[in-house]
Amino acid sequence: MSTEAVTAPALRHRITAFVRDFVLPNAPAMARGAGPQPKHVVEAAGEAGLAGILTPVRFGGAGGSHLDFVDFIEAVAAADASTSVILDVHVSVGTEPIIEFGTDDQKTRYLPRLASGELLAAFALTEPAGGSDAASLQTRAIHDGDEYVITGTKTFITSAGAADLYIVLARTGPGTRGISAFLVESGWRGVSAGQPFEKLGLHGSWTGELVLDSVRVPAANRLGREGAGFGAAMSALDSGRVGISAQAVGIAQGALDAAVAASRARRAAGRDVDEVALADMEAATMAARALTRHTAAMVDAAQPATLDASVAKLYATDACVAVAHAAVQICAPESTSEMHPASIRLRDAKASQIYEGTNQIQRVIIARELLR
């Protein structure tokens, strides 16, 4: 195995081929919820050499940058958002915390299998009573010898029921400094997932409850120090928001492409075209892309990116819903069909304003940073 990171052009080539050969052909089925299951998606990404795009080469990954990562997610999302959310969660919040905070032992045990697509990762922070207020989480981890015993319920977990490895945030003490992170395997006794929710969109991805009932987790699977979990989660979310921004750019681009195609056909038939709407859609999509790439470059340069990541997430996801909505209007009446590319994008887009911190929480984060 080479120890050199895969070059950016080589990664772009892999991304193009993966989108062409796997994502696009499966996109219509994914949008109906009848496509390849999440496990199959990550296996295919692993075969394409992309499931560990951010993972260092010595742990079996591609050693790519966050700029490569956003290119990857954007390109996949432009073709199919369900596939992109599965891979975004796997690569960013599912794998990155291990890269950043894992012990050598944890990295050796998990990173190569995550990068090859053998394992699918998920991130379990949100609870029924702790959404935007993540620090209020109630899942408990009680230290017992060489193990922790974890009990609690997580919800809105992407890939719940499909994932092999969950990064679980649980309480080892009071306050935000009483939160720790654990690597929990799906096969362990007491781990179960509910049926995937029936969602507005993203029908090809699974979202559901994760129940932990006295799950015994070896202390060797605690990620980072005891009490360092909240900081790790927030750090993961900074990068995760960059991924969600890239996904939003991709969805917007997919919707815009549909609107442009429909507008060309209208013009060819001698009918009027809404140039103003198209220009505003293009401008919003491009600015979202510029912000996303700017933020990815900051993460790559190890600069503090909390504010920039929130700004990118807010702008890109608001833009993506507005662009998808406008695309449905431009593509009418065909777009009233639920399987029209524009209507699929509108359904898929909506989630991006909600997850990884609602856009209302992003506004609070941004204002607090500025008003400090």
Partner 1 sequence: MIQQTVRDLARDKIAPRAAEIDRTGEFPWDVVDLFRKHDLFALPFPPEYGGLSGSALTLNLAIEEVAKACATSALILAVQALGAYPIMLAGSAEQKQRLLPDLASGKKLAAYALTEPGAGSDPAAMETRAELHDGEYVITGSKIWITDGGVADTIVIFAKTNPKERAKGVSAFVMEDAQSLKGFEANTIHGKLGIRGSNTAELRLDEVVVPAANRLGKEGEGFSIAMRVLDRSRPGVAAQAIGIAQGALDYAVGYAKERKQFGKAIGEFQGIQFMIADMEAQTAAARAMVYWASQLIDDHSPDVTHHAAIAKLLAGDAAMKVTTDAVQILGGYGYVNEYPVERMMRDAKITQIYEGTNQIQRVVIARDLLRA
Q: Which of 263, 335, 352, 353 binds partner 1 (CB under 8 A)?
A: 263
> Would strands 165-171 and 179-185 be described as parallel, antiparallel, or unpaired?
antiparallel
- CB count, 10 Å around CB of 228? 17
Q: 271 — phi, psi (to 5°)?
A: -105, 160
Calculate ∠ Cα 245-195-30, nearest 5°: 50
29 binds partner 1 (CB under 8 A): no
Shortest distance, position 278 Cβ to partner 1, whole Å = 5
Closer residue to partner 1 (CB): 222 or 289 = 289
Residues in the chain: 372
Q: Report whether the peptide linkage leading into residue 333 is cis, meaning its omega lies within 30 degrees of zero.
A: yes
Nearest to 246 by CA among 201, 198, 203, 297: 297
Closer residue to partner 1 (CB): 82 or 263 = 263
360 binds partner 1 (CB under 8 A): yes
Asked if residues 270 and 329 have their Cβ atoms less than 8 Å apart, the reply is no
Closer residue to partner 1 (CB): 147 or 280 = 280
133 binds partner 1 (CB under 8 A): no
Closer residue to partner 1 (CB): 136 or 360 = 360
Using CB under 8 A as the binding criterion, the count of chain residues that bind partner 1 stands at 34
Closer residue to partner 1 (CB): 118 or 274 = 274
Q: Residue 216, class by beta-carbon neighbours within 10 Å (0-12 exposed, 13-18 middle, 19+ buried)?
A: middle
Q: Which residue has the tokens 């306050």?
A: 175
Shortest distance, position 266 Cβ to partner 1, whole Å = 10
Residues paired with 147 in a beta bridge:
144, 218
Q: Per CB under 8 A, which of residues 273..332 are in contact with partner 1?
A: 273, 275-276, 278-280, 282-283, 286-288, 290-291, 293-294, 308, 311, 314-315, 318
Could you tell me which residues come within 8 angstroms of residue 21 by beta carbon, excluding any fewer than 6 positions away? none
Whether 96 is catalytic is no
Q: Which entry of 74, 209, 356, 369 is annotated as an active-site residue?
A: 356
Of 97-105, 126-134, 227-235, 363-371, the segment contacting partner 1 by CB under 8 A is 363-371
Q: Which residue has the tokens 């999509």?
A: 285
Shortest distance, position 12 Cβ to partner 1, whole Å = 17
Residues of this chain that interact with partner 1 (CB under 8 A) are 256, 260, 263-264, 267, 273, 275-276, 278-280, 282-283, 286-288, 290-291, 293-294, 308, 311, 314-315, 318, 360, 362-364, 366-368, 370-371
| Residues with catalytic roles | 356
